[in-house]
Amino acid sequence: MSATIQTTGLTKIYGKTKVVDGIDLDVREGEAYAFLGPNGSGKSTTISMILGLVTPTSGEVRLFGKTLSTAYYETKRRIGVVGEHQHLYEELTANEYLRFFAELYRVPNRLSRIDSVLEKVGLQRYKDLELRGYSKGMRQKLAFARALLHDPDLLVLDEPVSSLDPYGVSMIRDIILSERSRGKTIFISSHVLSEIEKTCTKVGIVDRGRLVAQDSMQGLKNRLSGGAELRIELAEAVPGAVQALKSLDFVRSVECDGKNIRLKVSGSSDPRPEVSRCIVELGGLVVSMTTAEITLEEAFIAITDASMPLLTQEAV
């Protein structure tokens, strides 16, 4: 997989404040990358630098392996963006607005494409309404339609569901998943971590301008929880089960409380068949087996909390 977004030592200084501090991002083709961080951590500035809206103080951005200075139009035509705030031409209708952008991006079969993206975001009925009459959620959906209009290879989404109702959130999630399944790269910055967990495969966490973690979703969770947890309920206690389970490669710890066993496991493959087989061989009967993982929210808080003393110490 080639790199779709690659930043090297990306830094932005405003006055005496280092807003972004040497960020090295690596987003591969086809990945759904969540770019997370607390408010004021430098996410939006980083995104602006990636998109060429803000000039970095130092460092480099490569999109599809090229810098914007060497392949500006070629690169920009392959990106679709939904910004944090929607600034639309209020005097236009949705149809006129999309027609203008379709022309700008030189979209073939403009009219049918416009109809198709409006249908996708559920705005077909309102296409002839002036944008000044649009609600926040409708504006967000229209921005999504604009971003999808030219069928981009990379979608950059800054808080894509912030103004949407649950139906809208679900609609946008479906669109993101469908784009992902078509091999498109998605780069999302959002505070709605439950949505991120459902749509993304890789996570980068930025705090006070620094990238403090970058890993696959599962890898990040495993790293923080010390592995996934497996909860097993047996029909009745099985003598020797603890020893037998401890001997399995992927088992890191075992806690047994009569019929209930809790295992900490490592690795990315599903441990349940092996655990089940082990218990059955000892003559036991598994009633239920569930995996419990650390949530992304817990991981996010753990990482950003942990980076605070580290950063303070370095600053001193």
Partner 1 sequence: MPRTALQSDVTIQRYHTIKVISSRGLISTLFGPGFYIVMCLSLLAPSILIYSYLGSVRETGLASMSNLIGTPFSVWVSIWGLFLSISSSLAVSREKELGTIEELFYGPVGPTDYVLARYVEHLLVYLVALAVSVCYFSMVSLLTNFSMSGTFIPTLLLSIFSVSTMVAFGILVSVVASKTRSSLTLLLTVALIFLGLDLAQGFLLGHSLGDPVGALPFGMSVLGWIARLTRWVSPFSNLGMGMDAAARGDIRAYGIVLVHSAAYSCAMLWMAVNRLKRKGVRA
Token pair belonging to 102: 């379709």
The set of long-range contacts for 214-219, using a CB threshold of 8 Å and a minimum separation of 24, is: 214/25, 214/26, 217/34, 217/296, 218/268, 219/268
Task: List the one residue from 5, 10, 23, 79 that touches partner 1 (CB under 8 A).
Answer: 79
Residue 17 lies near partner 1 (rule: CB under 8 A): no
CB under 8 Å to 285, separation ≥6 — which residues? 234, 235, 236, 279
Task: List the one residue from 2, 17, 39, 55 that touches partner 1 (CB under 8 A).
Answer: 55
Task: List the one residue from 104, 237, 285, 287 that touches partner 1 (CB under 8 A).
Answer: 104
Task: List the one residue from 77, 252, 259, 262 that touches partner 1 (CB under 8 A).
Answer: 77
CB of 112 to partner 1, least distance (A): 20
* Closest by Cα among 221, 216, 86 to 144: 86
Task: List the one residue from 91, 165, 174, 270 that touches partner 1 (CB under 8 A).
Answer: 91
Please, are residues 180 and 186 in contact by the beta-carbon 8 Å criterion? Answer: yes
Task: List the one residue from 24, 74, 297, 305 that touches partner 1 (CB under 8 A).
Answer: 74
Q: How many residues bind partner 1 (CB under 8 A)?
A: 26
State how far the Cα of 114 lies from the Cα of 150, in Å rounded to an integer: 10
Residue 14 lies near partner 1 (rule: CB under 8 A): no
> What percent of the residues of the chain are helix, what percent strand, and what percent coil, each to the nearest 5?
40, 30, 35
State how far the Cα of 191 lies from the Cα of 46, in Å rounded to an integer: 16
Query: Which residues inside 282-301 make contact with partner 1, applying CB under 8 A?
Result: none
CB of 154 to partner 1, least distance (A): 11
CB of 137 to partner 1, least distance (A): 18
Residue 128 lies near partner 1 (rule: CB under 8 A): no
Residue 57 lies near partner 1 (rule: CB under 8 A): no
Residue 139 lies near partner 1 (rule: CB under 8 A): no
Residue 101 lies near partner 1 (rule: CB under 8 A): yes
The set of long-range contacts for 310-313, using a CB threshold of 8 Å and a minimum separation of 24, is: 311/207, 311/208, 311/210
Residue number with CB closer to partner 1 (149 or 203): 149
State how far the Cα of 147 lies from the Cα of 164, in Å rounded to an integer: 17
CB of 56 to partner 1, least distance (A): 10
61 three-state secondary structure: strand
Per CB under 8 A, the segment of 67-75, 219-227, 256-264, 293-301 that binds partner 1 is 67-75
Residue 76 lies near partner 1 (rule: CB under 8 A): yes
Residue 280 lies near partner 1 (rule: CB under 8 A): no
Residue 87 lies near partner 1 (rule: CB under 8 A): yes
Residue 54 lies near partner 1 (rule: CB under 8 A): yes
Token pair belonging to 39: 């408010």
CB of 80 to partner 1, least distance (A): 8
H and E: helices and strands count for the chain: 11, 14
What interhelical angle do 110-120 and 136-148 show, nearest 10? 140
Per CB under 8 A, the segment of 44-52, 233-241, 289-297, 307-315 that binds partner 1 is 44-52
What are the distances in angstroms from CA 295 to CA 13, 126, 300? 33, 38, 9
